[in-house]
Protein backbone atom coordinates (compact mmCIF):
# COMPACT_ATOMS: atom_id res chain seq x y z
CA UNK A 1 0.00 0.00 0.00
CA UNK A 2 2.99 2.31 -0.48
CA UNK A 3 1.58 4.07 -3.55
CA UNK A 4 -1.66 5.52 -2.17
CA UNK A 5 -2.05 9.01 -0.74
CA UNK A 6 -4.40 10.66 1.74
CA UNK A 7 -6.30 12.08 -1.23
CA UNK A 8 -6.68 8.57 -2.67
CA UNK A 9 -8.11 7.33 0.62
CA UNK A 10 -10.59 10.22 0.80
CA UNK A 11 -11.74 9.59 -2.77
CA UNK A 12 -12.15 5.88 -2.03
CA UNK A 13 -14.31 6.63 1.03
CA UNK A 14 -16.38 9.12 -0.95
CA UNK A 15 -16.95 6.55 -3.72
CA UNK A 16 -18.14 3.92 -1.23
CA UNK A 17 -20.51 6.48 0.28
CA UNK A 18 -22.04 7.36 -3.08
CA UNK A 19 -22.40 3.74 -4.19
CA UNK A 20 -23.69 2.64 -0.79
CA UNK A 21 -26.45 5.25 -0.90
CA UNK A 22 -28.05 3.54 -3.89
CA UNK A 23 -31.02 1.20 -3.57
CA UNK A 24 -30.98 -1.96 -5.62
CA UNK A 25 -28.27 -3.73 -7.64
CA UNK A 26 -28.98 -1.82 -10.86
CA UNK A 27 -28.61 1.63 -9.26
CA UNK A 28 -25.52 0.43 -7.39
CA UNK A 29 -23.91 -0.81 -10.61
CA UNK A 30 -24.69 2.43 -12.44
CA UNK A 31 -23.19 4.49 -9.61
CA UNK A 32 -20.05 2.36 -9.68
CA UNK A 33 -19.72 2.81 -13.43
CA UNK A 34 -20.02 6.59 -13.04
CA UNK A 35 -17.70 7.04 -10.06
CA UNK A 36 -14.87 4.53 -10.59
CA UNK A 37 -13.32 6.56 -13.46
CA UNK A 38 -13.03 9.50 -11.02
CA UNK A 39 -10.90 7.29 -8.78
CA UNK A 40 -8.83 5.65 -11.52
CA UNK A 41 -8.81 6.98 -15.09
CA UNK A 42 -10.69 4.75 -17.52
CA UNK A 43 -11.72 5.19 -21.16
CA UNK A 44 -14.32 2.43 -20.88
CA UNK A 45 -15.76 1.06 -17.63
CA UNK A 46 -18.00 -1.98 -17.54
CA UNK A 47 -19.91 -4.17 -15.16
CA UNK A 48 -19.03 -7.58 -16.58
CA UNK A 49 -21.18 -10.62 -15.75
CA UNK A 50 -19.46 -13.83 -16.89
CA UNK A 51 -21.29 -17.16 -16.81
CA UNK A 52 -18.39 -19.54 -16.36
CA UNK A 53 -20.24 -22.72 -17.29
CA UNK A 54 -21.41 -21.45 -20.67
CA UNK A 55 -18.57 -19.08 -21.56
CA UNK A 56 -20.90 -16.11 -22.04
CA UNK A 57 -20.45 -12.50 -20.91
CA UNK A 58 -23.00 -9.72 -20.44
CA UNK A 59 -21.95 -6.12 -19.87
CA UNK A 60 -23.26 -2.72 -18.84
CA UNK A 61 -21.00 0.06 -20.17
CA UNK A 62 -19.94 3.59 -19.44
CA UNK A 63 -20.10 5.13 -21.99
CA UNK A 64 -23.30 3.34 -22.94
CA UNK A 65 -23.28 1.35 -26.18
CA UNK A 66 -19.49 1.21 -26.42
CA UNK A 67 -19.58 -2.58 -26.83
CA UNK A 68 -21.84 -3.99 -29.55
CA UNK A 69 -23.50 -7.40 -29.76
CA UNK A 70 -20.87 -8.34 -32.32
CA UNK A 71 -18.11 -7.36 -29.89
CA UNK A 72 -19.70 -9.50 -27.17
CA UNK A 73 -19.86 -12.49 -29.51
CA UNK A 74 -16.21 -11.98 -30.39
CA UNK A 75 -15.24 -11.85 -26.70
CA UNK A 76 -17.12 -15.08 -26.02
CA UNK A 77 -15.03 -16.89 -28.64
CA UNK A 78 -11.98 -16.27 -26.47
CA UNK A 79 -13.81 -16.46 -23.12
CA UNK A 80 -11.78 -19.26 -21.53
CA UNK A 81 -8.50 -17.82 -22.83
CA UNK A 82 -9.01 -14.39 -21.28
CA UNK A 83 -6.33 -13.66 -18.64
CA UNK A 84 -8.76 -11.92 -16.26
CA UNK A 85 -11.42 -14.62 -16.53
CA UNK A 86 -8.80 -17.32 -15.95
CA UNK A 87 -7.26 -15.52 -12.98
CA UNK A 88 -10.42 -14.66 -11.06
CA UNK A 89 -12.20 -17.94 -11.82
CA UNK A 90 -9.20 -19.73 -10.32
CA UNK A 91 -8.77 -17.26 -7.43
CA UNK A 92 -12.24 -16.49 -5.99
CA UNK A 93 -10.78 -14.14 -3.36
CA UNK A 94 -8.25 -12.62 -5.74
CA UNK A 95 -7.35 -8.95 -5.64
CA UNK A 96 -7.89 -6.41 -8.40
CA UNK A 97 -5.92 -7.75 -11.35
CA UNK A 98 -4.49 -6.28 -14.56
CA UNK A 99 -4.11 -8.20 -17.80
CA UNK A 100 -0.41 -7.31 -17.59
CA UNK A 101 -0.21 -9.08 -14.21
CA UNK A 102 -0.88 -12.32 -16.08
CA UNK A 103 0.68 -11.62 -19.46
CA UNK A 104 3.26 -9.02 -20.55
CA UNK A 105 1.75 -6.48 -22.99
CA UNK A 106 4.11 -7.41 -25.82
CA UNK A 107 2.92 -11.02 -25.64
CA UNK A 108 -0.75 -10.13 -25.09
CA UNK A 109 -0.76 -7.94 -28.20
CA UNK A 110 0.18 -10.95 -30.31
CA UNK A 111 -2.91 -12.90 -29.26
CA UNK A 112 -6.09 -13.33 -31.28
CA UNK A 113 -8.06 -12.01 -28.28
CA UNK A 114 -6.25 -8.68 -28.49
CA UNK A 115 -6.25 -8.38 -32.27
CA UNK A 116 -9.83 -9.53 -32.86
CA UNK A 117 -11.48 -7.94 -29.82
CA UNK A 118 -9.45 -5.33 -27.93
CA UNK A 119 -7.98 -3.66 -31.00
CA UNK A 120 -11.49 -3.30 -32.45
CA UNK A 121 -12.89 -1.60 -29.33
CA UNK A 122 -9.75 0.59 -29.10
CA UNK A 123 -8.56 -0.80 -25.76
CA UNK A 124 -5.01 -1.80 -24.82
CA UNK A 125 -5.14 -2.36 -21.06
CA UNK A 126 -7.71 -3.63 -18.56
CA UNK A 127 -8.01 -4.23 -14.82
CA UNK A 128 -10.82 -6.17 -13.14
CA UNK A 129 -12.29 -5.49 -9.68
CA UNK A 130 -14.22 -8.64 -8.69
CA UNK A 131 -17.54 -8.30 -6.86
CA UNK A 132 -18.75 -11.89 -6.86
CA UNK A 133 -17.08 -15.17 -7.79
CA UNK A 134 -18.29 -18.74 -7.45
CA UNK A 135 -18.11 -21.89 -9.56
CA UNK A 136 -20.63 -20.60 -12.09
CA UNK A 137 -20.50 -16.80 -12.05
CA UNK A 138 -17.92 -14.03 -12.12
CA UNK A 139 -19.11 -10.43 -11.69
CA UNK A 140 -16.58 -7.60 -11.91
CA UNK A 141 -16.17 -3.94 -12.55
CA UNK A 142 -13.61 -3.70 -15.37
CA UNK A 143 -11.70 -0.53 -16.20
CA UNK A 144 -10.18 -0.27 -19.69
CA UNK A 145 -7.99 2.26 -21.42
CA UNK A 146 -5.61 3.06 -24.25
CA UNK A 147 -2.04 4.29 -23.89
CA UNK A 148 -0.44 3.72 -20.52
CA UNK A 149 -1.15 0.64 -18.45
CA UNK A 150 -2.78 0.80 -15.02
CA UNK A 151 -0.16 1.58 -12.39
CA UNK A 152 0.53 -0.06 -9.07
CA UNK A 153 -1.13 2.96 -7.45
CA UNK A 154 -4.23 2.33 -9.58
CA UNK A 155 -4.33 -1.32 -8.55
CA UNK A 156 -3.89 -0.50 -4.86
CA UNK A 157 -6.61 2.18 -4.89
CA UNK A 158 -9.06 -0.13 -6.66
CA UNK A 159 -8.28 -2.84 -4.13
CA UNK A 160 -9.17 -0.42 -1.33
CA UNK A 161 -12.75 -0.29 -2.60
CA UNK A 162 -12.99 -3.89 -3.82
CA UNK A 163 -14.26 -5.56 -0.66
CA UNK A 164 -16.71 -2.78 0.30
CA UNK A 165 -18.11 -2.72 -3.25
CA UNK A 166 -18.41 -6.52 -3.24
CA UNK A 167 -20.28 -6.44 0.09
CA UNK A 168 -22.63 -3.71 -1.13
CA UNK A 169 -23.32 -5.61 -4.35
CA UNK A 170 -24.07 -8.89 -2.58
CA UNK A 171 -26.30 -7.18 -0.03
CA UNK A 172 -28.19 -5.37 -2.78
CA UNK A 173 -28.80 -8.65 -4.61
CA UNK A 174 -29.95 -10.34 -1.39
CA UNK A 175 -32.32 -7.48 -0.51
CA UNK A 176 -33.70 -7.44 -4.03
CA UNK A 177 -34.39 -11.17 -3.78
CA UNK A 178 -36.19 -10.74 -0.44
CA UNK A 179 -38.31 -7.89 -1.78
CA UNK A 180 -39.33 -9.97 -4.79
CA UNK A 181 -40.17 -12.87 -2.49
CA UNK A 182 -42.32 -10.70 -0.23
CA UNK A 183 -44.13 -9.33 -3.27
CA UNK A 184 -44.91 -12.87 -4.40
CA UNK A 185 -46.02 -13.95 -0.93
CA UNK A 186 -48.56 -11.12 -0.78
CA UNK A 187 -50.02 -11.66 -4.25
CA UNK A 188 -53.34 -13.37 -4.86
CA UNK A 189 -51.44 -16.25 -6.44
CA UNK A 190 -49.67 -17.07 -3.20
CA UNK A 191 -52.65 -16.23 -0.99
CA UNK A 192 -54.55 -19.29 -2.16
CA UNK A 193 -51.95 -21.67 -0.81
CA UNK A 194 -48.49 -21.80 0.73
CA UNK A 195 -45.14 -20.50 -0.38
CA UNK A 196 -42.22 -22.92 -0.22
CA UNK A 197 -38.86 -21.18 0.16
CA UNK A 198 -35.89 -23.41 -0.69
CA UNK A 199 -32.58 -22.48 0.95
CA UNK A 200 -29.05 -23.70 0.41
CA UNK A 201 -26.69 -24.66 3.24
CA UNK A 202 -25.63 -21.03 3.64
CA UNK A 203 -29.34 -20.07 4.04
CA UNK A 204 -29.33 -18.21 0.73
CA UNK A 205 -32.66 -18.31 -1.07
CA UNK A 206 -32.62 -20.67 -4.04
CA UNK A 207 -36.20 -20.68 -5.33
CA UNK A 208 -39.81 -19.97 -4.38
CA UNK A 209 -42.76 -22.21 -5.19
CA UNK A 210 -46.49 -21.62 -4.73
CA UNK A 211 -48.18 -24.64 -3.20
CA UNK A 212 -51.90 -24.94 -4.11
CA UNK A 213 -54.34 -25.24 -1.24
CA UNK A 214 -55.42 -28.57 -2.70
CA UNK A 215 -52.03 -29.90 -1.60
CA UNK A 216 -52.71 -28.83 1.99
CA UNK A 217 -56.45 -29.07 2.64
CA UNK A 218 -56.19 -28.66 6.42
CA UNK A 219 -55.02 -25.04 6.14
CA UNK A 220 -52.46 -25.70 8.86
CA UNK A 221 -48.71 -25.37 8.55
CA UNK A 222 -47.32 -28.62 7.09
CA UNK A 223 -45.80 -30.67 9.89
CA UNK A 224 -42.39 -30.80 8.20
CA UNK A 225 -42.22 -27.00 7.93
CA UNK A 226 -43.54 -26.38 11.44
CA UNK A 227 -41.15 -28.90 13.01
CA UNK A 228 -38.18 -27.55 11.11
CA UNK A 229 -38.95 -23.97 12.16
CA UNK A 230 -39.26 -24.96 15.83
CA UNK A 231 -35.82 -26.58 15.71
CA UNK A 232 -34.07 -23.51 14.32
CA UNK A 233 -32.39 -21.22 16.85
CA UNK A 234 -33.83 -18.09 15.27
CA UNK A 235 -37.35 -19.19 16.15
CA UNK A 236 -36.37 -19.96 19.73
CA UNK A 237 -35.67 -16.29 20.36
CA UNK A 238 -39.18 -15.14 21.28
CA UNK A 239 -38.11 -11.51 20.88
CA UNK A 240 -37.93 -12.17 17.14
CA UNK A 241 -40.56 -14.76 16.32
CA UNK A 242 -43.44 -16.47 18.08
CA UNK A 243 -45.10 -19.71 17.08
CA UNK A 244 -48.79 -19.24 17.82
CA UNK A 245 -50.46 -22.48 16.91
CA UNK A 246 -49.51 -23.00 13.32
CA UNK A 247 -49.12 -19.34 12.37
CA UNK A 248 -45.65 -17.77 12.47
CA UNK A 249 -45.68 -14.05 13.24
CA UNK A 250 -42.90 -11.49 13.31
CA UNK A 251 -42.37 -10.25 16.85
CA UNK A 252 -41.48 -6.77 15.55
CA UNK A 253 -44.31 -6.16 13.11
CA UNK A 254 -46.89 -8.76 14.14
CA UNK A 255 -47.41 -9.57 10.45
CA UNK A 256 -48.54 -13.15 9.84
CA UNK A 257 -46.14 -15.32 7.91
CA UNK A 258 -48.58 -18.20 7.66
CA UNK A 259 -48.31 -18.33 3.88
CA UNK A 260 -44.61 -19.17 3.97
CA UNK A 261 -43.43 -22.71 4.49
CA UNK A 262 -39.63 -23.04 4.72
CA UNK A 263 -37.73 -26.12 3.54
CA UNK A 264 -33.96 -26.43 4.01
CA UNK A 265 -31.86 -28.21 1.45
Same domain, 148 and 203: no
> What domain range includes position 127?
6-172
pLDDT tier at 212 (50, 70, 90 boundaries)? low
Same domain, 165 and 206: no
- With a cut of 80, say whether residue 8 has pLDDT above it: yes
- With a cut of 90, say whether residue 62 has pLDDT above it: yes
Please report the pLDDT score of residue 131 as a whole number. Answer: 94
- With a cut of 60, say whether residue 162 has pLDDT above it: yes
Please report the pLDDT score of residue 229 as a whole number. Answer: 62
Same domain, 103 and 78: yes
Please report the pLDDT score of residue 262 as a whole number. Answer: 43
Same domain, 161 and 196: no
Residue 115 placed within a domain: yes
Same domain, 68 and 137: yes
Query: CA of 90: how far to CAs of 105, 135, 137, 138, in Å?
Result: 21, 9, 12, 11
Please report the pLDDT score of residue 110 as a whole number. Answer: 96
User: Any residues with CB less than 8 A from the CB of 86 and at least 6 apart, and which?
Assistant: 80, 102
Q: Note the pLDDT tens digit of each residue in 22-58.
A: 888 889 999 999 999 999 999 999 999 999 999 999 9
- With a cut of 60, say whether residue 72 has pLDDT above it: yes
- With a cut of 50, say whether residue 216 has pLDDT above it: yes
Of the candidates 84, 227, 202, the one whose C-alpha atom is nearest the C-alpha of residue 144 is 84
Taking the CA atoms of the chain, what radius of gyration do you get in angstroms?
23
Please report the pLDDT score of residue 59 as a whole number. Answer: 96
* Alpha-carbon gap, residue 84 to 149, rounded angstroms: 15
Return mean pLDDT, the chain: 80
Q: Is the pTM of this model over 0.85?
A: no
Amino acid sequence: MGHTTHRDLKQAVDLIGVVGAQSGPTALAEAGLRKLPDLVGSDLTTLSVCTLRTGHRRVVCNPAGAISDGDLACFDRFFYEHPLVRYHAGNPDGASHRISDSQPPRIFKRTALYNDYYRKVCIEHAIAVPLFVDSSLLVSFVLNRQGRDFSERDREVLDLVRRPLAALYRNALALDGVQQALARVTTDEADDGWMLVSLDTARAVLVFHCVPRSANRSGRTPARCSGWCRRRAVFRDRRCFHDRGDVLRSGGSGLPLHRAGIVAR
